[in-house]
């Protein structure tokens, strides 16, 4: 652990980004150190660079842990995931609205029980860390205790989580509805007071989507967003054509789906809209102008048949939108950023685009941090940044070992990782400089921060 000034150093190959390869030449955005040394102290990166250059600067006795045939990578960032849906991942699906009624709402009703919330939060955090994900933007349920459970477990691991209790006041079962606009806001206020800015925890105002919130609740959420510094906003946008048509009928006075949120004061920096599969150019322009972000959730969009996200249109250099990667568990079918990038490649290919490995890994690391307006803290291997790191095993399976043996450059290594890799490719996960997941650790591979 890094507490009390103790240093630890990791030796392996390493990758990191310093810019956006969708907007500039890759060589200006990307760093690859074939033999790197990463030094962590006090929860931050103290030094990073070529082993031969950094090693002489280490104090005598500094512990160095070497990972042969591996790459150090900034911890993955998941910009859209539902922790209450962990237990229903892989449920046979209809379209979005039918799937919500058949699976999601009945599953979320269980979170009225705090013990159930605690149990699923524990599983959820471990699945993230097993996959190398160190920060996520997380939907809870309407129950305040669901957010309490998530934040409490995140605090024990010292992960940076952005989460919030869901706001819903219509078109859902009674047990999932806020009894009034005021009740939902008051419960959110109490959670903000308790958790926002406590350690590494951050709060997101979370109306599920326009179909389950009245105009009055959305407006109240907008006022709440403005009352506290540094809050986030998360909700869903233009995921499915049936959903879009339904929403248009609920808000006939608004120009489009995004305009509903804009009218309520919910579109701005640190606003993250899940999916955005069917956006028009004017909506991309609004996101660009306001600093709002989109969470690209390819496994979910394919699983529910929602459509193909226009990634390269969203990142058009003439008006680039902030875009992060989202697993969207449980419509999404994997917690792994690597598996999600595999599907993102296919979605892009079906649209006639090619998502190369450097662009893909940017989305899962610095791109996610940029989407969240946290790229000054997260998403890079660089001195001063928070020490969230995953260690990727290039030979995690026999097939990966066979495939990477023929790779001649780092881009091909990364492409093999994102097409063949999953949680098995994560050898270890470090959060704020502590090894909270170690695949090789006997017994339980997980450790809370105080124990790591």
| Segment holding 319, helix H or strand E | none
Q: Which residues of 255-279 are buried (b: 16+ CB within 10 A; e: fewer)?
A: ebbbbbbbbbbbbbebbbbbbbbbb
What does the pLDDT look like over 136-167, one tens digit per residue?
999 999 999 999 999 999 999 999 999 999 99
User: Of 347, 371, 395, at which residue does a domain stop?
Assistant: 371
67 and 12 together in one domain: yes
Q: What is the tally of structural domains in the chain?
A: 2
| 5 C-beta neighbours (distance < 10 Å), count | 7
Mean pLDDT over residues 93-98, rounded? 88
Domain membership flag for residue 376: no
Provide the β-strand partners of residue 8: 40, 63
DSSP per-residue codes, 94-118? -SHHHHIIIIIHHHHHGGGSHHHHH
Q: For position 93, what pLDDT does the model report?
A: 79
Are 423 and 436 in contact, with CB atoms under 8 Å apart?
Answer: no
Domain membership flag for residue 289: yes
Mean pLDDT over residues 408-417, rounded? 96
111 and 121 together in one domain: yes
List all residues 6 or more positions away from 436 whose beta carbon is below 8 Å from its beta carbon: 129, 157, 158, 159, 429, 430, 446, 447, 448, 449, 452
Q: For position 4, what pLDDT does the model report?
A: 42
User: Of 348, 371, 394, at which residue does a domain stop?
Assistant: 371
Residue 2 above 80 pLDDT?
A: no
Residue 3's pLDDT band (cuts 50, 70, 90): very low
Lowest mean pLDDT among 23-32, 57-66, 277-286, 317-326: 57-66
Distances (CA, A) of 418 to 337, 357, 364: 8, 7, 11
- State pTM to two decimals: 0.97
- The CATH number of whichever domain residue 224 belongs to comes to 3.20.20.140
What does the pLDDT look like over 371-395, one tens digit per residue?
999 999 999 999 999 999 999 999 9
Are 417 and 125 in contact, with CB atoms under 8 Å apart?
Answer: no
- The CATH number of whichever domain residue 432 belongs to comes to 2.30.40.10
Strand 271-275 relative to strand 293-296: parallel, antiparallel, unpaired? parallel
Strand 160-164 relative to strand 133-139: parallel, antiparallel, unpaired? parallel
45 and 96 together in one domain: no
DSSP per-residue codes, 72-97? EEEPEEEEEEEGGGGGGTT----SHH
Give me the residue label for tokens 């070992």.
Answer: 401
Are 10 and 433 in contact, with CB atoms under 8 Å apart?
Answer: no
Mean pLDDT over residues 432-439, rounded? 98
What does the pLDDT look like over 217-227, one tens digit per residue?
999 999 999 99
| 55 C-beta neighbours (distance < 10 Å), count | 16
pLDDT, averaged across the chain: 97
The closest alpha carbon to 231, from 192, 289, 184, 191, belongs to 192
Provide the β-strand partners of residue 164: 139
105 and 51 together in one domain: no
Distances (CA, A) of 182 to 144, 168, 220, 227, 272: 14, 12, 8, 15, 24
User: Of 351, 371, 391, at which residue does a domain stop?
Assistant: 371
User: 362: domain range?
Assistant: 76-371
101 and 155 together in one domain: yes
């Amino acid at each position: 652990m890094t507490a009390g000034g103790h240093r630890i150093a990791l030796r392996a190959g390493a990758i990191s980004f310093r810019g956006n390869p969708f907007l500039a030449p890759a060589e200006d955005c990307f760093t690859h150190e074939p033999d790197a040394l990463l030094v962590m102290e006090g929860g931050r990166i103290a030094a990073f660079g070529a082993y031969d250059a950094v090693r002489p600067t280490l104090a005598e006795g500094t512990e160095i842990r070497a990972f042969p045939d591996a790459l150090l990578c900034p911890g993955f960032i998941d910009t859209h995931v539902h922790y209450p849906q962990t237990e229903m991942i892989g449920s046979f699906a209809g379209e979005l609205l039918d799937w919500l009624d058949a699976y999601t709402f009945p599953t979320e009703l269980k979170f009225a029980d705090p013990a159930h919330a605690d149990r699923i939060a524990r599983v959820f955090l471990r699945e993230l860390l097993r996959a190398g994900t160190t920060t996520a933007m997380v939907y809870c349920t309407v129950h305040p205790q669901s957010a309490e459970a998530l934040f409490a477990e995140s605090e024990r691991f010292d992960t940076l989580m952005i989460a919030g209790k869901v706001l819903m006041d219509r078109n859902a079962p009674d047990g999932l509805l806020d009894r009034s606009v005021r009740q939902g806001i008051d419960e959110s206020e109490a959670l903000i007071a308790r958790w926002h800015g406590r350690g590494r925890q951050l709060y997101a105002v979370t109306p599920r989507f326009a179909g389950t919130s009245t105009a009055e609740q959305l407006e109240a959420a907008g006022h709440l967003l403005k009352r506290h510094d540094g809050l986030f906003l998360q909700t869903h946008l233009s995921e499915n054509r049936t959903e879009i048509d339904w929403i248009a009928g609920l808000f006939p006075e608004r120009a489009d789906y995004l305009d509903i949120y804009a009218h309520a004061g919910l579109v701005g920096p640190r606003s993250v809209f899940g999916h955005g599969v069917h956006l028009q150019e004017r909506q991309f322009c609004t996101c660009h102008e306001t600093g709002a972000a989109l969470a690209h959730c390819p496994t979910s969009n394919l699983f529910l048949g929602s459509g193909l996200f226009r990634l390269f249109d969203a990142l058009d250099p003439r008006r680039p939108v902030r875009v992060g990667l989202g697993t969207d568990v449980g419509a999404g079918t994997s917690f792994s950023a690597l598996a999600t990038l595999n599907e993102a490649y296919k979605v892009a290919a079906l649209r006639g685009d090619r998502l190369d490995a450097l662009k893909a890994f940017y989305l899962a690391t610095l791109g996610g941090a940029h989407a969240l307006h946290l790229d000054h803290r997260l998403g890079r291997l660089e001195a001063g940044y928070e020490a969230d790191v995953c260690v990727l095993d290039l030979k995690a399976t026999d097939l990966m070992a066979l495939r990477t043996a023929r790779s001649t450059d780092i881009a091909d290594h990364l492409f093999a990782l994102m097409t063949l890799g999953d949680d098995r490719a994560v050898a270890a996960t470090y959060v704020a400089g502590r090894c909270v997941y170690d695949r090789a650790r006997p017994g339980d591979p997980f450790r809370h921060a105080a124990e790591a």
